[in-house]
Structures are given as structure tokens and as C-alpha cells.
Amino acid sequence: MVRRAGGPPSRILYGVIELQHLTKRYGGTLAVDDLSFTVEPGHVTGFLGPNGAGKSTTMRLILGLDAPTSGQALVNGRGYTSLRKPMREVGALLDAGAVHGGRSAYNHLLCLARTNDIGPKRVVEVLEQVGLAGVARKRVGGFSLGMKQRLGIAVALLGDPGILMFDEPVNGLDPDGVRWIRDLMRSLAAEGRTILLSSHLMSEMALTAERIVIVGRGKLIIEATVAELTARYPSLEDAYMALTSDSVQFGAAR
Amino acid sequence: MKAVLSSEWVKLRSVASTFHTIGAAAAMVVLGIAWTVYVGALADERGMLRAAAPEEGFLPLVQMSLAVLGVLTITSEHATGMIRTSLVTVPRRSTLFLAKAGIVALATLATAMSVLLLTYVTSRLIAGERHLGFNESAFTNDLPMLLASGLSVTALALVGLGLGAAMRSTAGALVSVVSLLFVLPGVINYLPPPWNTRIAALLLPNLVPQIASERMSSRLGDGYLPPWAALAVLFAYPLITLTIGYYALKRKDA
């Protein structure tokens, strides 16, 4: 299925997410406006911006859930929808609630694993890794938000991918869970993986991320390291507030 | 494709709604037994009578139950957001949709044929040597009707899947299926002849007797379509609705 125009990739970059003039228009609103940046392996890249800034839309565009109006997003030098076994290259958690509540955690993971020829052994492994082994046979509908977040992270980890994207993974997690996510993100990055992480918790982001991408109204505001930002401003939070003060609006929130 | 088929199979067998719809379809066996016992008792009083075959009379129950199965296969994913999780693991939407259609076709055909044959056999065994009308022809004569009935169930389930994908709404798709199966035939009955018979001949429920070269009903009389043409029209229903559903899934953002 052809959902994205463009010739063969000019160069293959392993473990890289590359946005080239990515634009998405919903009716009259530009949710993502000519966005270009690159996410590289080996560290956590924090993806920040006010509500409605286009973070989630950008992630949906990278994953081929939405078709861009123009521009393109490449993972490992290719469009996501052209990947044969995408779970082995990219893992993503967009919306922890996007599960059928009647299915057990094990069956939820199993049906997704099968699409990419991932065996049941790996399903059991990730269930243990995220701490859901004890409730593997329970219906997902009865899970708390924190448990659903862990299940969503398990889905992302199934294919042992080099690139991981998480949209607000600490939402609904207890302090234990927040620390667990922080350690998980850091260890995944230390293994040389590429991590794109969106969150509104600035203190958490300052602890976890090394690089920061801030967007506002669908446009790139700044791409910098956390060290650069905290050198110029008292804290990451102050940097964020100063840089996004013009961009707080409620755009095409989806 | 094999991987996605096996994933869809896990999805189907891991939710309760599948077993509820199959259970509702299997109620035909019980109703068939009750019907045969009832008309058998009447025949014992009067000597003989002409009763309708239970596997024909209760066919709409099986058609409706398994059409719900077809609808839910896709609309449960849209309702819960699971469709986005699915599309991240299988970004080729044609593959995902074809796998869904394949699993729905196999599951509904196997269920429908089992229920129909079981109803057929139990009702004939209970009828014994009584003259009930429906039990007085050989199995080979009844076979075309049984096969056509089974195919009609699968065709309707696929229509449900196609409409579900097009509308992304369980309620909307179900109302459309009910209209096709019950409302439209009822309305067409009251058109002035010969138009009632001409149009009714093209409607889903009336294709079954035409495929088996039998009378459509006492009110409508014989059909217009030879068996091969009726079979072609039966296949056209799912083909058209699945095409519409596929384009909706492919073109629209998930």
C-alpha cells in the first residue's frame, strides 16, 4: 500500500528517526507544521511542548497511523509502513488505553507478537520484565491505568527494537512506577537504543533525557541538550516556560 | 500474511463476544429440536402435515448472530482504539483487513455448517417415520439448500465486517445488517407485483432458495435468478461492502 510518496532513501541510518518537513493539516488547522529534526541512538530524547503542540500527532505520523499532508518521517532510513516486521525495528506506546478490555494481558501480547513472528516465550519474558506476570491471565479491562501503561510498554518491547517511542508513559504511574520507567528508559538508551519520550513532567525529563526537542503550535522551537538549556536557564522547567510562552494554545488535540 | 492470520485467530478466540455470538447461532439446534417435537406431536394427532424445515425457518437467527461476529471483528477495534495498536504492528492495512476477512469467513462458515448439519440431523432423528413434510426428501436433495444457507451466513458476516470498517461504529453497522436481512425484504414484499418479486429476488435472504432452485416464498413465488446467478449475487454483497470497508480503512487516518 502506498501511503507515502518519495523515492528510495538517500542514506540508511540505523537507529535514527528522521523528520523531513513533516506537515499535517486537519481541515483548517496545522497540527504539525514543517517539522524537521533527527533523533539519534544512545540517549533519551525528550519531546516537549504544550498540550495540542502536535507531539502525539507527530508520533502518529512517524508510525503511519496518519498520512502526512506533506514531508516525510523515516525510521532507519525508511517509511514506517514499508517495514516488513516493524516491531523488530520500532516499539511504540502511544495510548495505553488502546486495548480490547475483554482480552487477557497474555492474549493481547500474543496476538500482537504473532503478527511479527515473535514467539510466546518472548511474551512471557516481557510480561515478567514489566511486572505483569502475576496478572497475565486477567482481563485487561480490569487493569489500573498504571498497569495498562506497563502493558503498553510490554508491547513496545516485544520485538526487542532499536528504536522506542513513548507518549506520556509515566501518566498514572505510582512513584515506584515512575522510577521504574526512568531506570528502564536509561538502561534502554545505555544499550544503544534510540528513545523518543514525551512527557509533561519537567523534573522527570531533567532526570531521564539527555537531549530535548521542544515544539509549539506544530513547529520546532528548539533542539538542544539538557545541559545547554540548564546552563542558560535556572532549570529545565524555566527553559520550557520561557521558550513555549508564545505557543500555549489548544490546537488540533487528537 | 500467515503471521497476521494467526494473530487474527488469537484475537477471535480470546474475546467472550465470539463465544456469545457462536452460542446464539447454536441456539438453532435447540430451537430445531423443540420445533420438531412440537410438530411431531401435532402429526401424531392428525396423521401428517407440512411443516417448515427448522434449518430453514431458524436460518435468520444464525445469519444475524454471526453477522454480529463479523461486525465486532472490526468495530470492537475501532471502539477501543485497539485498531491503532494493531496497525502499528501491521502497517500494511490491506494485509490486516484481508486477514480479518479470511478468519471471519473460515470461522463463520465452519460454525454455520456445523449448526445447520446438527439441526438437520437431530430434527430428522426426532421426526423418525412421521410425515412432517420437511423430513421426506433425501439428504442429497436437501444438500444444495444446506450449502447455500451456510454460504449466506458467511456472506452476511463479511458484509458486517465491510460495513463495520466503513462506518467504524458497531451500532451503525448492525442497523445496516438488520435492514438488509429483515427490514428491506419486508418493505419490498409490499411493492406492486411483479416488482416485489423482481427486486426481492436480489435480496440476501431470498438468494438462498434461488441457489437451491427452490421457491422464494408462498407470497413471492419462484425467483427470477438461475442458481449460478443467485450465487454470483450472493458473492457480490460481501465483495462490494468489503471493498468499501477497505477503502475507508486505507484512506482515513486511524
Joined together, the cell numbers standing for residue B79 give 471502539
CA A131 to mean position of chain CA atoms: 21
Per DSSP, A5 falls in state -
B1, B85, B249: which to substitute to probe chain A, counting the most A Cβ within 10 Å? B85
For chain B, list residues whose CB is within 8 angstroms of any CB belonging to chain A: 3-4, 6-8, 10-11, 14-17, 76-77, 80-94, 250, 253-254
Asked if B3 lies within 8 A of A116 by C-beta distance, the reply is: yes
Contact residues, chain B, for A95 at CB < 8 Å: 81, 84
pLDDT at B213: 87
Residue B226, preceding bond cis, omega within 30 degrees?
Answer: no
Q: Is residue B152 a contact partner of residue B180, using CB atoms and an 8 Å limit?
A: no
A3, A25, A74, A100: which to substitute to probe chain B, counting the most B Cβ within 10 Å? A100
Contact residues, chain B, for A113 at CB < 8 Å: 7
pLDDT at A134: 97
Instruction: Kindly state the average pLDDT of the residues B194-212.
Output: 91
Q: Parallel, antiparallel, or unpaired for β A211-216 and A163-167? A: unpaired
Residue in the structure block whose three cell numbers are 430453514 = B56
Amino acid at the residue B132? L
Of B85, B86, B92, the CB nearest to A1: B92
For residue B85, the tally of other CB atoms under 10 A from its CB is 25
Of A81, A103, A114, the CB nearest to B15: A103
d(CA A127, CA B26): 36
pLDDT at B34: 97
Q: Is residue B227 a contact partner of residue B213, using CB atoms and an 8 Å limit?
A: yes
pLDDT at A192: 93
Asked if A97 lies within 8 A of B15 by C-beta distance, the reply is: no
Q: How confident is the model at residue B93 (pLDDT cuts 50, 70, 90)?
A: very high
Q: With b meaning 16 or more CB within 10 Å and e meaning fewer, what string describes B44-55?
A: eeeeeeebebbb
Residue in the structure block whose three cell numbers are 421426526 = B127
pLDDT at A10: 41
The CATH number that domain A1-89+162-254 falls under is 3.40.50.300
B88, B98, B252: which to substitute to probe chain A, counting the most A Cβ within 10 Å? B88
pLDDT at A248: 66
Q: Parallel, antiparallel, or unpaired for β A90-93 and A163-167? A: parallel
Domain ranges of chain A: 1-89+162-254, 96-160
d(CA B92, CA B99): 11
Asked if B8 lies within 8 A of A111 by C-beta distance, the reply is: yes
Give B95 to chain A, closest Cα distance, Å: 9
Q: Report pLDDT digits (tens) over B55-92.
A: 999 999 999 999 999 999 999 999 999 999 999 999 99
* φ and ψ of A114, to 5 deg: -60, -30
With a pLDDT cut of 70, the percent of chain B lying above it is 100
Of A65, A99, A107, the CB nearest to B254: A65
- Of A99-108, B56-65, B126-135, B242-251, the one with minimum mean pLDDT is B126-135
Contact residues, chain B, for A110 at CB < 8 Å: 10, 14
ipTM: 0.91
d(CA B102, CA B16): 20
pLDDT at A13: 57
Q: Cα dist. B235→B167, B178, B208 in Å? A: 21, 18, 12
Joined together, the cell numbers standing for residue B21 give 455470538
Give the CA-trace dihedral at B44, B49, B53, B56, to 10 degrees. Answer: -140
d(CA A214, CA B77): 32
Joined together, the cell numbers standing for residue A10 give 538517500
Asked if A94 lies within 8 A of B88 by C-beta distance, the reply is: yes
Instruction: Kindly give, in sequence order, each residue whose CB lies less than 8 Å from that of residue B172, ignoring residues fewer than 6 positions away.
Output: B163
Give the HSE-up count for residue B98: Cα atoms under 13 Å, Cβ half-sphere. 11
Taking only the tens of pLDDT, chain A with its 254 residues reads 333 444 444 444 579 999 999 999 998 889 999 999 999 999 999 999 998 899 999 999 999 999 999 999 999 999 999 999 999 999 999 999 999 999 999 999 999 999 999 999 999 999 999 999 999 999 999 999 999 999 999 999 999 999 999 999 988 788 999 999 999 999 999 999 999 999 888 888 999 999 999 999 999 999 999 999 999 999 999 999 999 988 765 544 44
Closest residue in chain A to residue B77, using alpha carbons only = A100
Rg (CA), chain B: 20
B15, B21, B89: which to substitute to probe chain A, counting the most A Cβ within 10 Å? B89
d(CA B188, CA B190): 5
Question: DSSP per residue over B30-46, as a string?
Answer: HHHHHHHHHHHHHHHHH
Judge residue B186's burial from the number of C-beta atoms within 10 Å of its C-beta, 0-12 exposed, 13-18 middle, 19 or more buried. Answer: exposed
Give B168 to chain A, closest Cα distance, Å: 15
- CA-nearest of B85, B73, B74 to B12 is B73
